[in-house]
Amino acid sequence: MAHPLRYALPLVLAGCFTSAQAQEMLRVHITDSLTRQPVVGASVGVVGTSVGAAADAAGRVELPGLPAGPATLQISALGYRPRRLAVTLPLTAPLLVRLAPGGEELEEVVVTATRTNSRIEDLPTRVEVLGTEELQEENAIKPGNIASLLGDLAGTQIQPTQPTTGNADLRIQGLQGRYSQMLRDGMPLFGGYAGSFGILQVPPLDLRQVELIKGSSSTLYGGGAIAGLVNLVSKQPRLGAPERSVTLNQSTLRETNLNAYAAGRNQRLGYTFFAGGTRQQDVDVNHDGFTDVPRLRSLTVHPRLFFYPNKTGQLIVGYTGTVERRQGGDQQVVRAAADAQHQYVVDNQMQRHTAELIFTQDSVAGGALTVKGTLSSFRREVSTNTVGFAARQLSYYSEASYLHRLGLENTLVAGLNFNGEQLRPESSSRTPLRNSYTYGTVGAFVQDDWQPVQPLTVQAGLRLDHHNQYGSFVLPRLALLYRFSPSLTSRLNGGLGYRVPVPYVNELDERDYPQVQPLTGVRAERSTGVNWDVNYQHRFGPELTLTVNQSFFYTELDHPLVLPDPVVGRAPGESPLTWYNARRPLVSRGFETYIRLREDETELYLGYVFTDARRRYDAVNPHVELAARHKLAAVATTEFTEHFAAGIEASYTGQQYLSDGRRTPGYPIVAALLRYQAGPLSVVLNGENLFDYRQTRREAVVLGSRLNPDFPQLWAPVEGRVLNLSVTARF
């Protein structure tokens, strides 16, 4: 391909009109080949140079300062087949390019969590994405939250933490949920005192996609992303395409959901609005007198306003409000009142109010400027038969970043952010919490995506964080993507991470909260993580595609924060609990394998995950509790006709180790779905845990005195088989 310098000597010899001939303006107009509508955001680059730009709202691109002579253009857009065109400059009229929509390009997903807004296949970092189709299906299966959806991803595990209140923990690659970071639209969402309730309070209906990055990601977003991060991407309104939908769901476990979503936009203004409510009656599945499914009343609203000041700018202002009450324990106390024989209850009342602001401008000195921030107030009041407390957590995050694309081969992003949280127990608490804290972190980051040669892409990042109590952290990260062929690629990435101590974590029983001692003499946990995968994809004709992926992971956590092992015979809330740093690390390692075969609307999937997570500081019980060593999953889905579709999913969770060293048996879970769709209506009948496997069939989960019971670790479901029927109307 000709380099621009090749034309320098002929132009000099041409005489006095050299400069005029050397600088040309290329104008390109990009439209859909079928609808003839402009393709907004399509990228145009001149191969072999640093010249490139994105199409405006009219589908037009201007590339100034090009040399006269032949050039090769690369044009691409999400949902369209890319094109490569040879042109000779100057052109007397704008170049008209029509891109053809492609069914295969539905898999071309733009990922936001890595900050470069790149297509998933171009990223050196391995990212798993659940898109609109999966979220629509989850809305029909479990409209109240996304917990089960996250548990379907390979390498993740939704672990119940308390049988009576239904809390759940998201584990990634064998590590506890406190080592995973939850984001919404690139901003931290939950943590600390909010505990594991976070994933139980996000409905799927107003989400566009879910992005999962496994392994160390602290360089991207700061402390906490040691095992990985989950980024929830909200829907946005589309010009000329209003959207409205309502979902009503009822389950055999007496759960009722009603969710509604609306969106619309014109040239200057847009909006999205979500409102959803859940009413769950308490259920005692195994008839032992204690709730296996808590009583729940929950309401969530999420309105957002969109302003478009110009063709390349956008301002989003939003609010999220959640009010929830969750009651579990002795069913007689939950339903009526306590007496001499029935006293144990846990009553969580929570309110969360979050304000957000996101501003983007794509035409700032040839790059894109993003300024965003969020402020969240979370109040949680807990009442049990032995303790009662209330506290408020204030969290905030702000960031300014700038992204600049240097042609097709180089993308640079840099930014500053300030975030923190404040926890304050309320004076009205019957048993005031011992801990309060004010954390603040200032961070600076830079990341460069560079393609030095055609088959290799390098993503290098560096973050410097300074925490007001735990000092400074330098976090480098490196990711490599190598394309051996169009069908065979490999990714290797690694980095450092950290997590600052917080007193309250998901695994704690509420009755133990007042016994947690102040954090003194402890330091931040630090980690090193490496992930490597090889991906092979082959097409047998236009519709049949085979994908095989093999990956390996390793995470070492230094100075892990641990609580002392429970004292034999100790009831919850009876003795002090003091955090300390273990002298030796915690190590999680393993591999994932999956095979996917897809033909038109039929898909077969088979996946296996092996995890070996060990506490090297504990010679007696070295295995990390509740980290399943083996997990096997199989999925088959198909559309029989344009109206009927069905799917079946089976998984096997292998042995897990408990904190006392005992091993649990493996168990299977089978689910099935049948969907009927006609016009705007979609009806789904879904069955989970069809074989009704429950931990309570193997052992009791309520131990000791019924007045103030103890609970063993949960290693399997307790709610058993559940069927649900949902109806969604889109108009």
> Above 50 in pLDDT, residue 631?
yes
Q: What is the mean pLDDT of residues 180-209?
A: 79
pLDDT of residue 548: 96
Q: What is the mean pLDDT of residues 208-233?
A: 87
Question: Position 495: which residue type?
Answer: G
Domain boundary (169, 204, 230) is at 230
Predicted confidence (pLDDT) per residue in 349-408, tens digit: 999 999 999 999 987 887 899 999 999 999 999 999 889 999 999 999 999 999 988 766
pLDDT of residue 610: 96
Give how many domains the chain has, as a whole number: 3
pLDDT of residue 567: 47
Rg (Cα) of the chain, in Å, rounded? 27
pLDDT of residue 192: 66
Percent pLDDT > 70 in the chain is 93
459 falls within a domain:
no
208 falls within a domain:
yes
Say if residue 717 is preceded by a cis peptide, omega within 30 of 0: no
- pTM for this model (two decimals): 0.83
Buried b (16+ CB within 10 A) or exposed e, 612-647: ebbbeebeebebbbbbbbebebbbbbeeeeeeebeb
CATH code for the domain of 141 = 2.170.130.10
pLDDT of residue 297: 96
CATH code for the domain of 56 = 2.60.40.1120
509 falls within a domain:
no
> Above 80 in pLDDT, residue 100?
no
Average pLDDT of the chain?
Answer: 87
Question: Position 390: which residue type?
Answer: A
Same domain (yes/no): 40, 146: no
Same domain (yes/no): 141, 60: no
Predicted confidence (pLDDT) per residue in 642-654, tens digit: 899 999 999 999 9
Q: What is the mean pLDDT of residues 193-198?
A: 62
623 falls within a domain:
yes
Q: What is the mean pLDDT of residues 575-592?
A: 94
- For residue 474, CA distances in Å to 397, 497, 520, 577 come to 20, 9, 24, 31
Q: What is the mean pLDDT of residues 506-535?
A: 91
Q: What is the mean pLDDT of residues 448-471?
A: 93
Q: What is the mean pLDDT of residues 606-612?
A: 95
506 falls within a domain:
no
In whole angstroms, what is the distance from residue 216 CA to residue 175 CA?
12
Q: Show the CA angle centred on residue 664, arms to residues 172 and 155, nearest 5°.
A: 15
Percent pLDDT > 90 in the chain is 55
Same domain (yes/no): 101, 112: no
Same domain (yes/no): 49, 126: no
pLDDT of residue 8: 41
pLDDT of residue 34: 62
Structure tokens, 535: 């991906």
Q: What is the dihedral of CA 661, 662, 668, 669, to 10 degrees?
A: -70
Q: How many CB atoms lie within 10 A of CB 263?
A: 21
Q: pLDDT band at residue 195, thresholds of 50, 70 and 90?
A: low
456 falls within a domain:
no
Same domain (yes/no): 247, 201: no
> Above 60 in pLDDT, residue 142?
yes
Q: Show the CA angle centred on residue 712, arms to residues 658 and 588, nearest 5°.
A: 25
Structure tokens, 424: 């304050």
Domain boundary (105, 121, 146) is at 105
Structure tokens, 645: 């579709």
Same domain (yes/no): 244, 375: yes
Q: What is the mean pLDDT of residues 591-597?
A: 95
Same domain (yes/no): 598, 674: yes
Q: Which domain covers residue 326, as residue numbers?
A: 238-386+396-405+527-730
pLDDT of residue 19: 42
- Count CA atoms within 13 Å of residue 196 on its CB side: 23
Same domain (yes/no): 78, 142: no
Q: pLDDT band at residue 13, thresholds of 50, 70 and 90?
A: very low
Question: Position 333: which residue type?
Answer: V
> Above 60 in pLDDT, residue 105?
no
Same domain (yes/no): 306, 369: yes
Question: Comparing 681 with 37, which gets the higher pLDDT?
Answer: 681
Q: What is the mean pLDDT of residues 620-638?
A: 93
CATH code for the domain of 370 = 2.40.170.20
pLDDT of residue 102: 56
Q: How many CB atoms lie within 10 A of CB 209?
A: 20
Q: pLDDT band at residue 243, thresholds of 50, 70 and 90?
A: very high
Predicted confidence (pLDDT) per residue in 350-367, tens digit: 999 999 999 999 878 878
Q: pLDDT band at residue 96, thresholds of 50, 70 and 90?
A: confident
Same domain (yes/no): 242, 178: no
Structure tokens, 97: 């390019």
299 falls within a domain:
yes
Q: What is the mean pLDDT of residues 679-707?
A: 93
DSSP state of 226: S
Same domain (yes/no): 592, 666: yes
151 falls within a domain:
yes
Same domain (yes/no): 170, 247: no
Q: pLDDT band at residue 85, thresholds of 50, 70 and 90?
A: confident
Q: pLDDT band at residue 38, thresholds of 50, 70 and 90?
A: confident
Domain boundary (53, 86, 105) is at 105
- Count CA atoms within 13 Å of residue 140 on its CB side: 24
pLDDT of residue 22: 55
pLDDT of residue 636: 96
Strands 722-730 and 110-111, sheet pairing: unpaired
Q: How many CB atoms lie within 10 A of CB 94?
A: 14
